[in-house]
Amino acid sequence: MMAVSMKLVSMILVAPADARLQLNGQRPALGFSQKESRLSVGSPSPSGVHYGDSTCPCIGFDNIEGETILQVEQDGKEVELSYPADIGARCEPWDDERHFQCKDGEKPGSGKKWCAQAWCYVDPCNCDIDVLPKIASLYNTEATYRGKPLFWSYATCGGKDEFTKKLPQLGKPVCRCIGFAGVAGSTEISFKDGSKGEYPADLGATCSAWDKGRHPVCQGDKDKVPSWCKANWCYVDPCECDLPGDLVPKISAYLPEATFTGKNLYYSYETCGSADTWTEEFNVDACVNQDKEGDCTRLPRCAWTGARCLGTELVDHPLCVEAGKRMMEKIGKTGKEHSGSVATAVHWMVALTALRVMPLAAA
């Protein structure tokens, strides 16, 4: 797809003072529709209008008559394109028959690929879907929403982003990847068998098959390497990681001395949509692999909950109190031990104390 450069000439309500806005009819009261009330989110309203996923709703003022003029570079010259004044306020294929690449005879053409995909503007601070919204680098680049640049999303509208170049995946909304992506350089990892591997400096910053072609076991015939060589994983904050069921992040074996905000560095395959087939065999000292309390407590970075061995942060850390509460809620619903929490540790301490007090009470 040909690269296109756009800059804002006008955007209603959030544009600079020299915005060129052409309105037909009276401007509606702020926050209310000029026609019928359209408040449905997550599914189309009776009128067929869609306002995005309920966890990532569209923003903006809908049903505003008029047009917004965008200047677009085409073949080295600037041309003007006309879009509706309420562009991005609801899920709609806004570019179809408006962008010069979305007209008949052009590529991709009317009704094809990204031209036919619905999107809308969203608040990145109120968007909890798997696919992160993108900053408006082409549309309305000077416009802001609550002091932030505009962001837009195809995913909240059920569409597929075929316009933006491929962006790195950053894990599930409840367990995002951490780190600095795109950092130049390399990191040498030493393994217990004495072998070494050279990894990128931004190792673990995004969901990627980091071991593929880098770990000694993952070199050679790609069809014969273990499944974990092709599995995606990234580093995560254990206090901000709420995986389903008994799944928990594990402490890094590659960078054992590294920390994140004073905590051990944890990794997760599950937040990247991959199964963890590596930890059990190749990270034998991982806390989750210790079935007995004695084996657990001999490892300085592990803690025993009374039923499971987990990283110390998942059991007792002041920054993980809220995570512990969430885990306790899951334990209460399932009646089973979850993947470690402060509350779990307290539960077992209370139980043990009760056992000690009972004989004294009987006496």
- Residues 291 and 348 reside in one and the same domain: yes
Tell me: do 157 and 232 sit in the same domain: no
Residue-level pLDDT at 253 = 87
- Residue 199 sits in the same domain as residue 265: yes
**In the listed set 141, 167, 193, which residue is the last one of a domain according to the structure?**
167
Shared domain for 128 and 17, answered yes or no, is: yes
Kindly state whether residues 354 and 254 are assigned to the same domain.
no
Tell me, what's the pLDDT at 182? 73
Please indicate, yes or no, whether residues 257 and 182 belong to a single structural domain of this protein: yes
Q: In the predicted model, what is the mean pLDDT of residues 312-325?
A: 78
* Whether residue 215 sits in one domain with residue 108: no
- Whether 30 has a pLDDT exceeding 60, the answer reads no
* pLDDT score of 321: 79
Q: Looking at 252, 267, 284, which one is the last position of a domain? A: 284
Q: What is the pLDDT at residue 255? A: 84
> In the chain, how many domains are there?
3
Q: Are residues 103 and 179 in the same domain?
A: no
Give yes or no: residues 209 and 267 share one domain: yes
pLDDT tens, position by position, 290-303: 999 999 999 998 98
Q: Does residue 120 have a pLDDT over 90?
A: yes
Average pLDDT of 36-64?
A: 70
Give the pLDDT confidence of 138-196 residue by residue, as tens digits.
667 677 788 777 888 999 999 888 776 655 688 888 889 998 777 788 888 888 778 88
The whole-number pLDDT of residue 192 equals 79
* Confidence bin at 70 (pLDDT 50/70/90): confident
Q: Which residue has the tokens 């209460």?
A: 332
Span 214-246, pLDDT tens digits:
998 888 777 788 889 888 999 999 888 888 777
What range does the domain containing 350 cover?
287-363
The predicted model gives 251-263 an average pLDDT of 86
The last residue of a domain, from among 167, 200, 233: 167
Lowest mean pLDDT among 42-51, 65-74, 88-97, 104-113: 42-51
Say whether both 89 and 193 belong to one domain. Answer: no
Q: Of 27-36, 47-56, 162-171, 182-191, which range is least confident?
A: 27-36
Same domain membership, residue 261 and residue 202: yes
More confident call, 18 vs 104: 104
What's the pLDDT at 139?
Answer: 66
Residue 327: pLDDT band (50, 70, 90) is low
Same domain assignment for residues 130 and 210: no
pLDDT of 69 over the 90 cut: no
